[in-house]
Amino acid sequence: MEISILILIPIYIAYIIFLGRKMFKKRLSAIKSGAVKVGYFKDYQGTVPYELQVYKNHFENQFQFPVIFFISCLAIIQFDMADLFMVFLCYMFFITRLLHSYFHLGSNDLKLRALSYMVGVVSVLVIWLRIVLNLLFF
């Protein structure tokens, strides 16, 4: 099962790169249309169109809680705990991040966005609960 987690990590990293590329294109478009001045990107002070701010916030989110997920994957591999349930939890987290992106960058429905976020947090919490229990008692 370890291979499933090893495959997921580069897929998620590719997804983050995809989001970064999309944000970059949005920024270029905003500059070309005159909605944002190039100087804004020196210190990120001033106002930007709503959509651009949402993409910036969303991209930055990928370097917050998801980092704990990456550490979780490495811990699962390190402690040789990659069973079907752990792989399920890892994929559950990834799916919730995709849903979170869909809601955040689409309708920005706070209820659905928060729900997808919380399910992802719970999946990582369960991963760590299993890791700790396994290390303490087995």
Q: What is the pLDDT of residues 68-96, one digit of tens each?
A: 999 999 999 999 999 999 999 999 999 99
Q: pTM for this one?
A: 0.90
Name the band, by pLDDT with cuts 50, 70 and 90, for residue 116.
very high
| Start-to-end CA span in the chain (Å) | 20
* Cβ(72)–Cβ(8) below 8 Å: no
Name the band, by pLDDT with cuts 50, 70 and 90, for residue 4.
confident
Residue 49 has pLDDT above 70, yes or no: yes
Residue 7 has pLDDT above 90, yes or no: no
Q: Residue range 51-79: average pLDDT? A: 95
User: Distance from CA of residue 122 to its chain's centroid?
Assistant: 14
* Cβ(77)–Cβ(68) below 8 Å: no
Name the band, by pLDDT with cuts 50, 70 and 90, for residue 28.
very high
Give the angle 19-25-27 at the CA atoms, nearest 5°.
105
Q: Is 55 exposed, middle or buried (0-12, 13-18, 19+ CB in 10 A)?
A: buried
- Cα–Cα distance measured from residue 55 to residue 49, given in angstroms and rounded to the nearest whole number: 10
At residue 5, the pLDDT reads 80
Q: What phi, psi does 36 have (nearest 5°)?
A: -140, 140
Name the band, by pLDDT with cuts 50, 70 and 90, for residue 3.
confident
Mean pLDDT, the chain, integer: 94
Q: Residue range 31-48: average pLDDT? A: 93
Q: What is the CATH number of domain 2-137?
A: 1.20.120.550
At residue 36, the pLDDT reads 94
* Cβ(72)–Cβ(90) below 8 Å: yes
